[in-house]
């Protein structure tokens, strides 16, 4: 394990880990607020709904950002993954001229193929959220051959640009980007990313199929409200607020 002490945050670099989210949870009491746990060799990556996150050794980003809010009352917990998805889109555009889009609630796609996924997990003590572990997988150098084995259309920065990269350098720039607007986001919540989030959504104004607790429901995706919830019309044209769920198509 290598600790890179920077001015604003610490990156804990692991040679290998089953899952950076699991490692962060297991070591939560020794990890400071704002620390990033990173590895390029994740052996049992986890995705949302207990799905597997496919990893290989081609130098990709597998990282978990540990956030321990001091004042938890107004902390925008529920919008954290949306904030990170916005940052990833902004970063892919500024750094690689890649036009990424967001699939509800926080998958990041390029030309309809998933390039990055986010898994947020809470650490609670006495029914209080003590920490949030914000896990991010970003396919940096994954080759088409491995991507083809994933059960949904997937891509990597390397496949899109035709170049290879050092994932540690990309990670550092990505985390710097995360922290530029983080304090503003903590103070103002979803409102400060709402317009950008909406501009990146690829599902608004479309018929969508959402899986919620194992049940599949058809909706029309109408809008995103001020709290970051999806306003959708069901089959009876009734307005529903969707908090999470998995957008199937
Ligand atoms: C998803 O799209 O379902 C979320 C994928 C999240 C994967 C990342 S990789 C780093 C961190 N550690 C994990 O085990 N999962 C997250």
Determine the distance separating the centroid of ligand 1 and the alpha carbon of 137, expressed in angstroms: 5
Structure tokens at 243: 């908090």
Average pLDDT of every residue of the chain? 93
Is the pLDDT at 248 greater than 90, yes or no? no
| Closest to 88 in 3D by CA, of 181, 226, 214 | 181
What is the CATH classification number for the domain harbouring 231? 2.30.30.100
Residue 135: CB within 6 Å of ligand 1? Answer: yes
Q: Are residues 125 and 240 in the same domain?
A: no
Domain final residue, candidates 199, 217, 233:
199
Q: Are residues 40 and 57 in the same domain?
A: yes
Average pLDDT over residues 176-201: 96
- pLDDT given for residue 244 in this prediction: 75
Confidence of residue 68 (pLDDT cuts 50, 70, 90): very high
Q: At what angle do helices 80-96 and 167-180 cross, to 10 degrees?
A: 120
Average pLDDT over residues 118-126: 95
Cβ(114)–Cβ(152) under 8 Å? yes
Q: Is the dihedral of CA 223, 229, 230, 236 positive or negative?
A: negative
Confidence of residue 3 (pLDDT cuts 50, 70, 90): low
Determine the distance separating the centroid of ligand 1 and the alpha carbon of 48, expressed in angstroms: 7
- pLDDT given for residue 211 in this prediction: 85
Is the pLDDT at 63 greater than 60, yes or no? yes
Q: Is the dihedral of CA 120, 111, 42, 213 positive or negative?
A: positive
CB atoms within 10 A of CB 64: 27
What secondary structure does DSSP assign to 125-168, as a single string?
ETTEEEEEEEEEEE-SS--HHHHTTSSS-B--HHHHHS----HH
Is the pLDDT at 5 greater than 70, yes or no? no
Average pLDDT over residues 136-153: 97
Domain final residue, candidates 183, 199, 215:
199
Is the pLDDT at 190 greater than 90, yes or no? yes
Lowest mean pLDDT among 22-26, 90-94, 184-188, 243-247: 243-247
Atom 11, ligand 1: residue with shortest CA distance: 135
Domain around 223: 207-247
Query: What does the alpha-carbon distance between residue 23 and residue 244 come to, in Å, rounded to a whole number?
Result: 25
Atom 3, ligand 1: residue with shortest CA distance: 47
What is the CATH classification number for the domain harbouring 161? 3.30.930.10
Q: Are residues 57 and 108 in the same domain?
A: yes
Is the pLDDT at 82 greater than 90, yes or no? yes
| Closest to 85 in 3D by CA, of 167, 176, 198, 212 | 198
Q: Are residues 140 and 241 in the same domain?
A: no
């Amino acid at each position: 394990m290598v600790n890179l002490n920077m001015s604003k945050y610490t990156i804990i670099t692991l040679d290998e880990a089953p899952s950076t989210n699991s490692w962060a949870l297991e070591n939560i009491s020794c990890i400071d607020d704002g620390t990033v746990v990173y590895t390029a060799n994740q052996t049992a990556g986890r995705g949302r709904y207990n799905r597997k996150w496919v990893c290989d050794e081609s130098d990709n980003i597998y990282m978990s950002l540990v956030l321990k809010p001091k004042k938890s009352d107004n902390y925008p917990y529920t919008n954290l993954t949306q904030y990170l998805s916005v940052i990833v889109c902004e970063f892919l555009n500024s750094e690689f001229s890649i036009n990424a889009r967001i699939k509800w609630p926080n998958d990041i796609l390029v030309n309809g193929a998933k390039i990055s996924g986010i898994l947020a997990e809470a650490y609670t003590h006495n029914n209080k959220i003590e920490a949030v572990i914000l896990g991010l997988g970003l396919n940096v150098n994954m080759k088409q051959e491995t991507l083809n084995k994933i059960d949904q259309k997937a891509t990597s920065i390397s496949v899109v640009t035709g170049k290879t990269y050092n994932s540690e350098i990309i990670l550092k720039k990505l985390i710097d980007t995360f922290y530029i607007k983080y304090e503003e986001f903590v103070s103002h919540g979803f409102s400060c990313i709402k317009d950008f989030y909406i501009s990146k959504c690829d599902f608004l104004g479309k018929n969508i199929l959402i899986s919620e607790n194992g049940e599949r429901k058809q909706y029309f995706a109408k809008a995103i409200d001020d709290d970051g919830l999806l306003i959708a019309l069901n089959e009876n044209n009734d307005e529903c607020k969707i908090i999470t769920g998995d957008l199937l198509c």
